[in-house]
Structure 1
Amino acid sequence: MFQLLLVSSLLWEYVVPTPMCLDLEGYNEVSIEEIFDRAIVMAQYTSNLTTQISEEFDENFAESLGYKARNSSTCHTASLATPEDNEQIQQTQSDDILKVMISISRAWYHPLEHLVRAVAVVKGACETMLSKVKEVEKKNEELLEEMKKILVRVHPGAEENVYPAWMGLAEVRSDNEDTRHFALSNLFHCLRCDADKVATYLLVLRCRVIHNNNC
């Protein structure tokens, strides 16, 4: 046994550990076009999901409240200065558009966490709705990372903007069911609008950065 242990120890002395590190060079070889394409697919998928969730929730839980889509001024992201039409987008610098998209995504990080918990306890909510909300939460995090990569590649050294805090937790947790449903309906409406904005901005930016606006 002693001889076996001795041989084993001698063998381990000649084992060269393989270094564990990120292949940064390989990452840098990923084209900006590929990163844009990946982000756009995520953004459009997320936008479609938020539309489905918002419509499904209103149909099942908010129509009885006489709910009508609120103006975006009630959204917690309304304080962000976002271009509202193609002309305004074209007049906005690429780094400013990227930074506002990142701010939008960050602003939804905590609300989405609470949306998952809130939908999980809504009486009558089907499992597919909950799975869609969880998927949006996941895609929002993934999309945020892709947009940060684009910002680093297109505008190295650019700093991210601050993002607005969400203050609607009390309504989402209210003991009154109508208040909860109304708050969730409004939150889904805001999420839908912001997801659509991000998807639109990414398409315009891809055209600007990759094709020099020749699309």
Structure 2
Amino acid sequence: MANRRCNDRKTFIMVLYMVAVCSGVPISDLLDRASQYSDKLHSLSTTLTHELDSHFPAMGRGIMPPPSACHTSSLQTPSNKEQALQVSESDLLSLARSLHQAWVDPLVVLSSSANTLPHPSQSKIINKIHELQEHSKNLGDGLTILTGKMDPTTLTISSLPYRGGNDIGQDKNSKLIRFHFLMSCLRRDSHKIDSLLKVLRCRAAKLQPHLC
């Protein structure tokens, strides 16, 4: 049954891909939809991070890994809007897709770990993680279609494998700290994806830089 659902989804994505590529759906419309999903991803990850802050171990801040330890830190991205406006459209899309693909496996880890997370809002967190996964899948489909509308031969997707494993810790504190760290990394990267897509949308609309 699971394989059938997977095959059905792949068929559905392929149909969407062909419709978007072969029809006159403007890139600006596709970018609007992708931006809506990326905005929702960032909003949900921010909400979850704040939720985790409400029940964070006192010693957690001192031992939580720094942002540089996120598995996506090696990817060089524009640090501000001015830099992003100097990057080509294909490179902006490549960066957004690289970051998005880097979170496919970690989202599965977050989803499975949420079931045993020692947090008073566990059920709420579980539901929001599932929302994150759904929006991430929709965003991935949208980015695939966008790639087909633009020039796929110019896109280079960077491999950013997650090597953190499926186990976020055995004791209560380590679970909370590791889960919080992963969510903090996702919050940072979802903001990057959202910013890259908004600049790409601005560039596609040929707006003046000061309006972006």
- Fold conserved between structures, TM > 0.5: yes
- Which of 44, 51, 59 is equivalent to 1:65? 59
Q: How does 1:93-104 map to 2 (within 5 A)?
A: 93-104=88-99
- Which of 79, 96, 110 is equivalent to 1:84? 79
**CA distance in structure 1 between the partners assigned to 2:79 and 2:185 by the alignment:** 15
Give 1:165 deviation, angstroms.
0.9
* 1:132 aligns to 2:128 (yes or no): yes
Instruction: Give CA-to-partner distance per residue, 1:118-162, whole Å, 9 cap, x none.
Output: 011113343121111111111112111212222322224234413
Q: CA RMSD in A?
A: 2.2
Code of the aligned partner of 1:120: N
Residue 70 (structure 2) aligns with = 75
**CA distance in structure 2 between the partners assigned to 1:177 and 1:81 by the alignment:** 34
Alpha carbons of structure 1 residues 22 and 49: separation in structure 2 relative to 1, 3 Å: closer
Q: Answer whether contact 1:40 1:199 (CA < 8 A) is retained.
A: yes
Residue 34 (structure 1) aligns with = 29
Code of the aligned partner of 1:64: A
Residue 179 (structure 2) aligns with = 184
In the alignment of these two chains, the number of paired residues is: 193
In structure 1, stretches of 5+ residues that fail to align are: 1-20
**CA distance in structure 1 between the partners assigned to 2:109 and 2:146 by the alignment:** 28
In our comparison, the structure showing a higher alpha carbon Rg is: 1
Identity of aligned residues (%): 24
Give 1:58 deviation, angstroms.
2.0
**CA distance in structure 2 between the partners assigned to 1:184 and 1:54 by the alignment:** 10
Q: Answer whether contact 1:36 1:202 (CA < 8 A) is retained.
A: yes
Q: Answer whether contact 1:119 1:125 (CA < 8 A) is retained.
A: no
Q: Answer whether contact 2:93 2:155 (CA < 8 A) is retained.
A: no
Code of the aligned partner of 1:90: L
Q: Which has the higher contact order (CA 8 A, sep 6+)?
A: 2
